Amino acid sequence: RTVYVNGEYLPENEAKVSIFDRGFLMADGVYEVTSVLGGKLIDFDGHLKRLERSLNELDMPKPAAFDDLLEIHRKLVAENGITEGMVYLQVTRGAPDDRDFVFPDAETTEPTVVLFTQNKPGLANSPAAKTGIKVISIDDIRWGRRDIKTVQLLYPSMGKMMAKAQGCDDAWMVEDGAVTEGTSNNAYIVKDGVIITRNLSTDILHGITRAAVLRFAREAQMKVEERPFTIEEAKAADEAFVTSASTFVFPVVEVDGAAVGTGSPGPVATRLREIYLEESLKAGV
Ligand code: PMP
């Protein structure tokens, strides 16, 4: 496939980044994942705005190519023939001459910008959307600025491995007795017709899919409560689900071995997935 690195479109095996890149040495980088459906980018504006916010929060200079990012996304999607899949975008603070904790001078060290596509035929018809997923709970031991979408993904990656080791699909992270979010998604429960999901703060990533799904839910007259909830509440809920750009809405049918509701995907999650796919396809760019 063709990838993008610092202004160039190259075959993936010719693309190179310096070993001194701060993304590689220090996880000093941010990223976005935008899904592609019907060859169109889903929620692109939201992802670009969050990227800008992540860069600002880390005092990272905006890369020169920032204003061209839509065009770069589109070109890669076209060139690689992506109908359903994802575009991954990463910006790091760049590669100074040597390893140093001090940020390099932004005048002399340019950010590194990398984009690549992932082809995922059948993304919208994923089997997990029909069967639902099983989650375990684990302690949330990540740093305190989870609202910034950094490439520090080691703990979430370990969380997925812990889930897999127990025959489950994902982990919900718990801090001070309440669920923060999934390893790579926002977490929700439904009780007595009310959709409950943690409020926005520095404790969680401000999911772009979360924003869209909550908007659609409110437009459909569903009740939404933004507050922390516990694993006990999740086990006693009527339904549970997760949202992310790469999965849209996945029902959660089991939490720490306990069936949620009937143990099958519930009507709210199923309906929200349908609305999300339909509306975002229409609004895709
Ligand atoms: N929380 C975390 C920790 C994530 O990694 C992700 C996906 N990147 C999300 C939530 C969902 O965010 P989005 O809907 O923007 O993909």
Query: Where do we find the tokens 């029909």?
Result: 130
Q: How far apart are CA 285 and CA 282, in angstroms?
A: 9
149 catalytic per annotation: yes
Q: What is the set of domains in the chain, with CATH numbers?
A: 2-122 (3.30.470.10), 127-283 (3.20.10.10)
Give per-residue pLDDT as tens, 218-241.
999 999 999 999 999 999 999 999
Catalytic-role residue among 16, 134, 149, 282: 149
Point out the ligand 1 atom lying closest to the alpha carbon of residue 209.
14
Give per-residue pLDDT as tens, 112-160.
999 999 999 999 999 999 999 999 999 999 999 999 999 999 999 999 9
CB-CB contact of 191 with 235 (8 Å): no
Q: Is residue 280 within 6 Å of ligand 1 at its C-beta? A: no
Query: Rounded to two decimals, what is the model's pTM?
Result: 0.97
